[in-house]
Amino acid sequence: MKIAVVALGKIGLPLAVQFADADPRHEVVGVDVNAATVEAVNAGTEPFPGEDHLAEKLAELVPAGRLRATTDYADAIPGADAVVLVVPLFVDEATGQPDFGWMDAATRSLAAHLIPGSRTLISYETTLPVGTTRRRWKPMIEQISGLVEGSDFDLVFSPERVLTGRVFADLRRYPKLVGGLSEVGTERAMDFYCSVLSFDERDDLPRPNGVWDMGSAEAAEMAKLAETTYRDVNIGLANQFARFADGAGIDVHRVIEACNSQPYSHIHHPGIAVGGHCIPVYPRLYLSTDPDATVVRTAREANAAMPEYAVARAETLLGSLRELRVVVLGASYRGRVKETAFSGIFGTVEALRSRGAQVLVHDPMYTDAELSAFGWEPYRWTPGRSGEPVDVAIVQADHPEYAQLSADDLPGLRVLLDGRRITDAARFTGVPRLTIGGGESYTV
């Protein structure tokens, strides 16, 4: 097959690699608007760090001619048997509504280059509001191409269900969900994904692991939104428990551990923030089509308030943060990922600055210049060496480097607030160490 992958980001590029690796006879072409990304891929090098096995697979597949990249849709789309789109969908911060700008542009470009008679399979993997595949992409592609869905091309939705950093493992681990606009389109998509994916055996599933027919594009769209929105709601509940536990002097983590020893309880862990492209975003996509979902809305608001809550805890202990030097440890939204999408760093820095604190930011995955570009003052520290004097430290991302952090690394430290519960309390003897839901109580 000739397979085109639109958007070579942190999901799209590993997918293109997976498809190329599945069969040496496949011709896989990735198309991306970023010329630097295309250049890196064609050189056989990864354009971003942190994805397991990506570098070695690129180094093998690109020189063998099994994978290439281009910025030209006219090169990638014509004659393709399958086109898979993983273009980012953004959410407007002010309104909470989806911003289809990038996806619309990509859809128009691919539609303009479809060839009559090719019967191209088009699969959207970007998470979408329910109904988008049928009501937005189908008429747009038909109008621009002059072709008819179901006879000239087939359109399906098949959500990506992977986490960056472990894409290849997750592709094997989780069933591939497919929902088409027609039975023929669904069958073609299932055959396609069966040919490019392999799956781990799992005895915990109600049916064999593999490609699952969801019955409709809408069901597949809702499945992805539901599984991610569940996590946001669950974390929101855990954060509510944590806030109560802090006031009552209870360690909520012991409570959650005890609850989850019973098979009907699956409470997630509380924390300073919920970040990334998925968990804080997809509930908003769901709310865009179900605005009466009060449980979803309340959980999203509760989670968004956690950076303010964390800073307020430190402030309560010290009385005031005005003119104190506060270092926020971790700009990324989670450990080992160089990505700040909806990271708690933004709310944490804002809450500190509103209190008159002098804010510094550290992240082992970012250079000082990169941190400065965000408008933050970099904090210089490397494991095993003392950093600059600070009054307060707030752990915002669970980078493994912070697990070995001690009071000696942060001269002058008066309070540590570990928003991810990654630090070792024994390394901070004599320094108040607060966590989210730890129930700690100190007298200053």
- Per-residue pLDDT for 120 more than 70? yes
- Same topology, domains 2-215 and 225-304? Answer is no
Average pLDDT over residues 55-72: 98
Evaluate if pTM is beyond 0.85.
Answer: yes
- pLDDT at residue 49 tops 90: no
Q: pLDDT band for position 213 (50/70/90)?
A: very high
Confidence at residue 93, expressed as pLDDT on a 0 to 100 scale? 74
Residue type, 140: M
What does the DSSP assignment read for 316-344? Answer: HHHS--TT-EEEEE--SSSTT----TT-H
Mean per-residue pLDDT, 20-46? 97
pLDDT tens digits, 370-386 = 999 999 999 999 888 89
Q: What is the pLDDT of residue 50?
A: 85
Domain ranges of the chain: 2-215, 225-304
State residue 20's pLDDT score.
98
Contact indicator for 245, 210 with CB cutoff of 8 Å: no
Percent of the chain with pLDDT over 70: 99
Question: Which tens digits make up the pLDDT trace of 140-173?
Answer: 999 999 999 999 999 999 999 999 899 999 999 9
Q: What does the pLDDT look like over 413-422, one tens digit per residue? A: 999 999 999 9
Whether residue 443 is predicted with pLDDT greater than 70 in this model: the reply is no
Residue 402 tokens read as 């912070």
**Residue whose pair of structure tokens reads 């024994």 in the numeric block:** 426
Q: What strands lie across the sheet with 377-378, from one edge to the other?
A: 377-378, 358-362, 325-329, 392-395, 415-418, 433-435
pLDDT at 444: 54
What are the tokens at 289? Answer: 């089509």
The percentage of the chain sitting over the pLDDT mark of 90, rounded to a whole number, equals: 94
Looking at residue 95, what is its pLDDT?
84
CATH architecture of the domain with residue range 2-215:
3-Layer(aba) Sandwich (3.40)
Q: Residues 80-91: what's their mean pLDDT?
A: 96
> Topology of 225-304 in CATH?
N-(1-d-carboxylethyl)-l-norvaline Dehydrogenase; domain 2 (1.10.1040)
**What is the overall mean pLDDT for the chain?**
96
* Residue whose tokens read 């990249």: 69
At 383 the pLDDT is 86
- Structure confidence at residue 441 (pLDDT): 72
Q: Across the strands, what pairs with 434?
A: 417
For residue range 324-383, what is the model confidence (pLDDT) as tens digits? 999 999 999 999 889 999 999 999 999 999 999 999 999 999 999 999 999 999 999 988
User: What's the token pair of residue 47?
Assistant: 């354009």
Check residue 277 and give its pLDDT.
Answer: 87
- Judged against a pLDDT cut of 80, whether residue 442 lies above it is answered with no
What's the confidence (pLDDT) of residue 334?
A: 93
Whose CA is closest to 1, among 20, 12, 11, 18?
A: 20
Instruction: Give the tens place of pLDDT for each residue, 252-288.
Output: 999 999 999 999 999 999 999 999 989 999 999 999 9
* Per-position DSSP letters for 345-410, written without gaps between them: HHHHHHHHHHTT-EEEEE-TTS-HHHHHHTT-EE----TTS-----SEEEE-S--GGGGG--GGGS
